[in-house]
């Protein structure tokens, strides 16, 4: 299975205790703990007003529930903020896949003008001038802060943000009562009639692939996604398939946050032409309506909610 019980318990303890390690006088003993302090420290934004956690909120499965998060100058981001959890095994990051590692990804929000808006040279300079950070980078990395070890520290923390304590995990581990009858039916639909598993596969329900699900029409929906990176016209409208763990906690959905609820998302896949008639290069798997009934849509929603880690259950949306 995805993680051993001991590993899961350890991760729960780590996440539950993050607030206690924000005190400056507590010494980080690992690179991950140093990365955690950096993740919550506004020192990495130009005006020292935002941290990584400002948009990747721990109580919301390290995502944001606004359509577009606001950067340091109140400028909205270009795309909806995805969860920073369950990324340890990912090989392409961001909606357009522009980063190939967590270490590389971790730097991008810092330097992005509409996010933290801090040149990397200035970020490194601030850390070197900080007695606290200079001391612990030297202790843990045997070097002064740099772009490379800053990315490594943040990535080390992000790699601890794994979840597997869900009704679904208990169900596949042999507890037949862990999921509701609705969620069990929804799982069968997910694998079968609804064809969700065609894209959302693996332990974290993402195949690390890019798909065009029809959310580009060149008119109202103008974000070309992967095409911005590759300049390959066959990839216009392609976006990275997101993982689905804790998805019930992270509305709104899609790269542009256009759907407010899971039911809206499922309804879109059920009849995409009802929402967007002229999606350019839409994947052929969406060429025919799924024909899901209201009950089947509710069952699918129940299954998606069963992917919620126990610590976030109270935040799961209806």
Q: Which residues are annotated as a binding site?
A: 52, 55-56, 196, 199-200
Residue 19 CA, chain-centre distance (Å), reads: 21
CB 105 within 8 A of CB 93: yes
Q: Are residues 91 and 100 in contact, defined by beta-carbon separation less than 8 angstroms?
A: yes
Q: Residues 200, 240: contact at Cβ < 8 Å?
A: no
* Spatial separation of the C-alpha atoms in residues 143 and 137, rounded to whole Å: 6
> Any alpha helices (H) in the chain, and if so which ranges?
5-16, 31-39, 52-55, 102-111, 120-129, 131-141, 147-158, 167-172, 181-191, 227-230, 262-270, 272-275, 294-305
Annotated binding site for heme c: 52, 55-56, 196, 199-200
Q: Whole-angstrom Cα distance, residue 87 to residue 213?
A: 22
In three-state secondary structure terms, 36 is helix
CA angle 91, 95, 99 (to 5 degrees): 40
Q: By 3-state DSSP, what share of the chain in percent is helix, strand and coil, each rounded to 5?
A: 45, 5, 50
The residue assigned the tokens 């799924």 is 290
CA–CA gap between residue 96 and residue 232 (Å, rounded): 13
Within 10 Å of residue 195's Cβ, how many Cβ atoms?
A: 16
Cα Rg of the chain, angstroms:
20
């Amino acid at each position: 299975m995805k993680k051993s019980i001991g590993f899961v318990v350890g991760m729960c303890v780590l996440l539950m205790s993050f607030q206690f390690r924000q005190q400056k006088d507590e010494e980080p003993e690992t690179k991950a703990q140093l990365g955690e302090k950096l993740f919550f420290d506004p020192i990495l934004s130009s005006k020292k007003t935002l941290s990584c956690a400002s948009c990747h909120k721990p109580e919301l499965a390290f995502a944001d529930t606004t359509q577009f998060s606001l950067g340091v100058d109140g400028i909205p981001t270009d795309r909806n903020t995805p969860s920073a959890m369950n990324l340890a095994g990912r090989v392409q990051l961001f909606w357009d896949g522009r980063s190939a590692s967590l270490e590389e990804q971790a730097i991008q929000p810092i330097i992005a003008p509409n996010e933290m808006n801090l040149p990397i040279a200035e970020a490194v300079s601030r850390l070197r001038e900080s007695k606290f950070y200079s001391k612990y980078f030297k202790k843990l990395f045997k070097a002064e802060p740099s772009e490379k070890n800053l990315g490594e520290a943040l990535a080390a923390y992000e790699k601890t943000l794994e979840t597997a304590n869900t009704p679904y995990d208990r169900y596949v581990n042999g507890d037949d009562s862990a999921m509701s009858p609705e969620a069990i039916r929804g799982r069968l639909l997910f694998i079968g009639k609804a064809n969700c598993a065609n894209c959302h596969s693996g332990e974290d329900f993402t195949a690390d692939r890019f798909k065009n699900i029809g959310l580009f029409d060149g008119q109202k929906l103008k974000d070309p996604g992967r095409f911005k990176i590759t300049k390959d016209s066959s990839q216009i409208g392609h976006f990275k398939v997101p993982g689905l763990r804790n998805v019930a906690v992270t509305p709104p959905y899609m790269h542009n946050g256009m759907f407010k609820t899971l039911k809206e998302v499922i309804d879109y896949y059920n009849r995409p032409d009802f929402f967007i008639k002229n999606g350019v290069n839409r994947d052929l798997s969406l060429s025919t309506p799924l024909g899901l009934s209201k009950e089947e849509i509710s069952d699918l929603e129940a299954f998606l909610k069963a992917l919620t880690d126990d610590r976030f259950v109270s935040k799961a949306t209806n």
